[in-house]
Amino acid sequence: MTQALPQPVADATAPSPSGPVSARRHPRRPGTVVVYVILTVIAVIYVYPFLIQVATSFKTNAEAATNTLSLVPQTWTTAAYERLFLRSDFPVWFRNSVIVTLVVTVGRVLIDSLAGYALARLRFRGRAIIFAGLVAVMAVPNVVLLIPKFLVIKQLGIYNSFAGLIIPLFADAAGVFIMKNFFESIPVSVEEAARIDGAGPLRVWWSIVLPMATPALVTIVILSFQGSWNELAHFIVASQDPQLVTLTKGVAQLASGQLSQGTEYPIKLAAAAIMTIPVAVLFFVFQRRIMNVSTGAVKE
């Protein structure tokens, strides 16, 4: 990544509002070079571990333990991947993670947008109380809920089932908040026109409001996908069925040695690398949305 660094020289002549003054006071080039050096060093520190991770997953066990820094395996081997996919439960974990993540994401999009729309637009009795409650539950830390969630899941009889893995993750106060804020920021006139034309509230929500809310819905999709794909604690307490293990739980148990002996780093790192791929793809697909923090100024 870092080889692509351009020469900083060209910047010296680029126009900028503060350019002329600061250029005279603090000669630009030495400072700029220092900034590039610092940035490059930090970027290497941030990226190199992931390169090591991928490289090591193709090394033999022996080489992984001795030759830890190199990015090129002396003997290439896909043994770790073969073992993961052909002789372990890894495919089952992967399937479970996919199912849970997709259902949770769809569910959150529907629930969050319905509730957010109602809180932003519809005037009904008790709305203020609901909103206050929403803010309150957002303050409850997740980890505090581990034991309590288990108790309720047991009580409801959905322990050791996909329902137990999925339904509790629908709870997403922050998402409702994001949707509510979004709806408050867009004009109400289009919906009113539709309502005057005789469309019912559900119809207005489905065919007018949801399409308009795409930017906010994308945010919800990113957050839910990432959140449920990376979730661990909930899956630990929601089931103990080996058939319902998700990637995070499976890989965590693999890492802590509950499933394999010794320090077989290639297989662990291969598993970790594969579970990173879907979120990495999501990240690169929506990269411009995620990184472009000033969407207000420049429309995409």
Partner 1 sequence: MTTATAPTGTTTPTRAARRRRSGLRRGQNATGWMFVAPMLVVLGLFLVVPVLMAAWVSLSDWSGRGSPLSSDVGFVGTENYTDLLVGGGLATKDFGTALRNNAYYVLLVVPLQTALSLFLASLVNRKLLRGRGLFRTAFYFPSVTSTVAITVLWLFLFSASGAVNSVLAWFGVNGPNWFNDPRGVLQLLLGWLGVDAAPSPLSGHGFLGITWWDWLAGPSVAMTAYILMAIFTTSGTFMLLFLAALQAISGDVEEAAIMDGTSPWQRFRYVTLPMLRPTVFTVVTLGLIGAWQVFDQIYTGTQGGPAKTTLTPAYLSYNSAFNNQQWGRGAAIAFLLFAIVIVFALVQRWLLRERAVPRRKRWNVVGAPPASATAAPGAPGALGPSGERSPSREGDTPHGPGTSGPTARGGAR
The interface with partner 1 within residues 180-219 (CB under 8 A) comprises: 180-182, 184-188, 192, 195, 201-202, 205, 214-216, 218-219
Binding flag, residue 74, partner 1 (CB under 8 A): no
Can you tell me whether residue 168 is helix, strand or coil?
helix
Considering only residues 80 to 99 of the shown chain, the ones binding partner 1 according to CB under 8 A are none
- How far is residue 202's CA from residue 249's CA, in Å, rounded to a whole number? 39
How many chain residues bind partner 1 (CB under 8 A)? Answer: 143
Query: Element (H or E) spanning 140, and its range?
Result: none
Residue number, 78 or 181, with CB nearest to partner 1: 181
- Nearest to 60, CA basis, from 73, 71, 42: 73
Candidates 106, 171, 193, 285; binder of partner 1 (CB under 8 A) is: 171
Can you tell me whether residue 226 is helix, strand or coil?
helix
Binding flag, residue 78, partner 1 (CB under 8 A): no
Considering only residues 217 to 236 of the shown chain, the ones binding partner 1 according to CB under 8 A are 218-219, 222-223, 226, 229-230, 232-233, 236
Binding flag, residue 129, partner 1 (CB under 8 A): no
Can you tell me whether residue 130 is helix, strand or coil?
helix
Binding flag, residue 152, partner 1 (CB under 8 A): yes
Residue number, 83 or 195, with CB nearest to partner 1: 195
Binding flag, residue 285, partner 1 (CB under 8 A): no
Binding flag, residue 138, partner 1 (CB under 8 A): yes
Candidates 37, 143, 161, 208; binder of partner 1 (CB under 8 A) is: 143
User: Which one of 76-84, 86-94, 167-175 is the stretch in contact with partner 1 (CB under 8 A)?
Assistant: 167-175
Rounded to the nearest 5 degrees, what angle is found at the Cα of 46, between the Cα atoms of 227 and 28?
125
Binding flag, residue 105, partner 1 (CB under 8 A): no
Binding flag, residue 26, partner 1 (CB under 8 A): yes
- How far is residue 287's CA from residue 285's CA, in Å, rounded to a whole number? 6
User: To the nearest 10°, the Cα dihedral for 263, 266, 272, 273?
Assistant: 160
Q: What tokens appear for 178 in the block?
A: 């994001």
User: Which one of 73-81, 86-94, 154-162 is the stretch in contact with partner 1 (CB under 8 A)?
Assistant: 154-162
Q: Least distance to partner 1 from the beta carbon of 87, Å?
A: 19
Binding flag, residue 6, partner 1 (CB under 8 A): yes
Binding flag, residue 65, partner 1 (CB under 8 A): yes
Instruction: Please list, residue by residue across 218-241, b when 16 or more beta carbons sit within 10 angstroms of its beta carbon and e when fewer do.
Output: ebbbbbbbbbbbebeebbbbbbee
- How far is residue 155's CA from residue 148's CA, in Å, rounded to a whole number? 11
- Nearest to 241, CA basis, from 158, 170, 149: 158
User: Which one of 75-83, 85-93, 137-145 is the stretch in contact with partner 1 (CB under 8 A)?
Assistant: 137-145
Q: Least distance to partner 1 from the beta carbon of 202, Å?
A: 8
* C-alpha pair distances (Å), 102 with each of 95, 119, 219: 11, 26, 15
